[in-house]
Amino acid sequence: MKLLVTNIDILAGIGHDGKRCLKGDEMARIDTIEHAYLYVEDGRIASYGKRSDMPQIDSDTTVVDAEGGAVLPSFCDSHTHIVYAGSREGEFVDKIRGLSYAEIAKRGGGILNSADRLHELSEDELYTQAMKRVDEVIRKGTGAIEIKSGYGLNLEDELKMLRVIRRIKETSPVKVVANFLGAHAVGRAFAGRQKEYVDHVINDMLPAVAKENLADFIDVFCDEGFFTPDETRRILKAGAKYGLRGKIHAEELAVSGGVDVAVECDALSVDHLEAMDDHDIELLKNTNTIPTALPGTSFFLNMPFAPARKMIQAGLPMAIASDYNPGSTPSGDMKFAVSLACIKMRLMPAEAINAATLNSACAMGLSEDYGSITKGKVANFYITDPIPSIDFIPYAYTTPIIRRIFLKGVEYRK
């Protein structure tokens, strides 16, 4: 299959050949070509450049007119929880009334609320709900996504979630990676017996997940009121024995020690970081762990934002993800996350876009094939309406500028 996109006013996010991620000052640069073309063969980018250098095409090439719009690599969303049952707007109202995230959790809400609801649904029902959200995020420009379990909190329901994620992988054109998050909270059946629950995750859940090859990563919510650094370390090391690389929720509610464990265990990413301090930033230097900010969570929960500016000034790479979930971030709109990164975390537009594309692909281990317009990479991109510059994307924070979406070089239609 051959595809030629022509009449592109701005082709952005090009190059990065051989770059796993962008660090520090590198994030401020987003290369562009004006009056460009993009050529795709068999779902991968074959060439791009000035329209005047456009290759000759044959009769079996599909030609797409960008009509003066911009073309950018699809967003990569490295942190979501989109397999869940129903909504939690009642807790949204509780937050407005003044209850904190931790207070809602102590009253039996939060993650445990979602676990209760998920237990009642079949795999088919969960899949149907989740696919509506998958369609939603694709239409908002996302082309690669990590989906976590963690609303099961017992063996059967965690496996149910991961089987739904596998089904999404098999039936959706979006690139999906699966993350086993059995240690999202302590299941109700283990209330008051957290050590036993950790043993259950390690001794019962992990072998079953590995036997069915249901996960690409393993994750732990290492934070105040959830799992300790020692418990997190135990779980990640157990996961490594099954070939599952670690990722960690950390420093959302307090300085938790999660960054220390992430670095020690060579976690691929450490996510949230709203409460991270200078010690954490120093620890992350010269490591393979990608700090990942979730600005939608800070916005929705009215809490501090991750210190992105400090991370970049320290020379770190940084990724942005949505955290799409029913309790703390009921949105998978990566364009809005990019806008929040600019408005609230003081990132420049190029930094925010790089964080949401190449660097977020890296936080899923996918940057060899996703996250930029690079020869040989998978042809996941979107075409916008005509816009004056790339800076317009985060500036116009609610304007629906995406006109057409291509995944693996095929236009997405539903």
Q: Which residue has the higher pLDDT, 90 or 9?
A: 9
SS3 at position 323: coil
pLDDT higher than threshold 90 for residue 380 = yes
What tokens were used for 115?
A: 């676990």
Indicate the annotated binding residues for Fe(3+): 79, 81, 249, 323
CA distance 271 to 358: 16
Indicate the annotated binding residues for 4-imidazolone-5-propanoate: 88, 151, 184, 252, 328
CA distance 23 to 162: 33
CA distance 268 to 289: 5
Indicate the annotated binding residues for N-formimidoyl-L-glutamate: 151, 325, 327
CA distance 178 to 185: 18
The fold of the 75-364 domain, in CATH, is TIM Barrel (3.20.20)
pLDDT higher than threshold 90 for residue 17 = no
pLDDT at res. 141: 98
DSSP H stretches of helix in 292-371: 295-301, 308-313, 334-345, 349-355, 358-362
DSSP state of 317: B
pLDDT higher than threshold 90 for residue 199 = yes
pLDDT at res. 304: 97
Pair 327, 88: CB distance under 8 Å: yes
Lowest mean pLDDT among 3-7, 63-67, 87-91, 330-334: 87-91
End-to-end CA distance of the chain: 20
pLDDT higher than threshold 90 for residue 180 = yes
Degrees to nearest 5, angle at CA 300 with 296 and 304 = 75
Stretch(es) of the chain classified as CATH 3.20.20.140: 75-364
Cα dihedral value 217, 284, 184, 227, nearest 10: 130
The fold of the 2-73+372-412 domain, in CATH, is Urease, subunit C; domain 1 (2.30.40)
Q: What is the pTM assigned to this prediction?
A: 0.96
What mean pLDDT value characterizes the chain?
96
Ramachandran sector of residue 346 (left: φ over 0; alpha: ψ -120 to 50; beta: rest): left
- The DSSP bridge partners found for residue 32 are 12
Nearest to 290 by CA among 267, 306, 274, 307: 267
Indicate the annotated binding residues: 79, 81, 88, 151, 184, 249, 252, 323, 325, 327-328
Sequence length of the chain is 414
CA distance 173 to 37: 24
What tokens were used for 238?
A: 């157990």
pLDDT at res. 145: 98
Stretch(es) of the chain classified as CATH 2.30.40.10: 2-73+372-412
Indicate the annotated binding residues for Zn(2+): 79, 81, 249, 323
DSSP state of 327: T
pLDDT higher than threshold 90 for residue 255 = yes
Q: What is the mean pLDDT of residues 52-56?
A: 92
On the 0-12 / 13-18 / 19+ scale of CB atoms within 10 A, 169 is middle
Q: Spell out a b/e string for 85-98, using b for 16 or more CB atoms within 10 Å of the CB, else e.
A: beebeebeebbeee
